[in-house]
Amino acid sequence: MNVVLVGPPGAGKGTQAAALEEKTKLKHIASGELFRQHMRDETELGKLARTYVDRGELVPDDIVITMILERIFQPDCEHGVILDGFPRTKEQAAALERALEEHQQKIDAVIFLNAPRDVLLKRIVGRQTCRNCQTPYNIYYSPPREEGVCDLCGGDLYTRSDDNMETARHRLEVYLQQTAPLIEHYRALGLLHEVDGLGDIHEVTARLVRELGINGELPHQPRT
Ligand code: AP5
């Protein structure tokens, strides 16, 4: 089973993809997190990605497509994937569909997660992330027990370089121009499930699970 999560920055894609991964055997693949890992490791790809990520611009399609298609056919994705943040353009969507078809696979569902703009901005500027295990916190909605320290691993919390108000506003513009058109594409294919991203994190997870009809069970069979 392959699931795509699409939605504006701050909608909760990463949070919900992690929750779904826990409930299923699907592998959570986040394009933004792959870039941030390269940026932390200071690879050539990371240095290039930083010039786009820090401005809230999309990394060019050819780079993202190569990175993601290499990742999703690895053995740890044999039960399927939850794609978080990819595809984000029509070109990326077409490349994904072609590659899945070549592997006799398909997208099974596209979840469109959304929330009002003021909530999205508050979630983004309030986000803090663990430097060690990448667990997200939020100073407004889900603060850590001890300020600046991860509840789970004790790692330091940091603010992403693109999580300031100016860049967040620009990311929302970029989303509306380049990614939102994908929603109609997936609706036309009959794959779209709209899920309200507003409310308690666990409530939103329950909505997703209902929409996907997985009832906390999984797709246990490996992909063919
Ligand atoms: P990426 O990392 O994908 O960022 P994004 O899409 O802007 O999404 P966010 O991570 O901001 O939000 P989210 O929806 O995952 O929300 P989250 O669960 O974290 O991309 C970063 C950059 O990488 C891009 O700008 C681009 O440069 C590049 N890039 C990535 N993919 C690319 C691609 N395909 N093509 C080209 N370039 C690409 O939640 C946000 C906060 O809200 C957290 O603090 C969380 O704790 C909190 N929260 C979540 N849900 C709730 C809730 N229900 N109630 C209260 N708080 C909540």
Flag whether 131 is in a domain. no
Nearest atom within ligand 1 for CA of residue 171:
25
Q: Which residues pair with 158 in a beta bridge?
A: 129
Contact assessment for residue 29 and residue 72, using Cβ atoms and an 8 Å cutoff? yes
CA of residue 10 to ligand 1 center, whole Å: 5
Protein residue whose Cα sits closest to atom 47 of ligand 1: 123
Q: Which CATH number is 36's domain given?
A: 3.40.50.300
Residue list, ligand 1 pocket, CB within 6 Å:
7, 9-15, 31-32, 35, 52-53, 56-59, 64, 85-86, 88, 92, 123-124, 127, 136, 138, 141-142, 162, 171, 199, 201, 204
- Give 180-213 pLDDT, tens digit per residue: 999 999 999 999 999 999 999 999 999 999 999 8
Nearest to 149 by CA among 164, 126, 132: 132
- Give 119-158 pLDDT, tens digit per residue: 999 999 999 999 999 899 999 999 999 999 999 999 999 9
Amino acid type, 90: K
Which domain does 52 fall in, by range?
2-115+191-212
Flag whether 29 is in a domain. yes
As for how many domains the chain has, the answer is 1
Flag whether 123 is in a domain. no
CA 45, CA 30: separation in Å to the nearest integer?
A: 16
Quick one: tokens of 130?
A: 């663990």
CA of residue 13 to ligand 1 center, whole Å: 6
Flag whether 178 is in a domain. no
Q: What is the pLDDT of residue 219?
A: 46
Task: Report the pLDDT averaged over residues 22-31.
Answer: 95
Q: Known catalytic residues?
A: 13, 88, 127, 160, 171
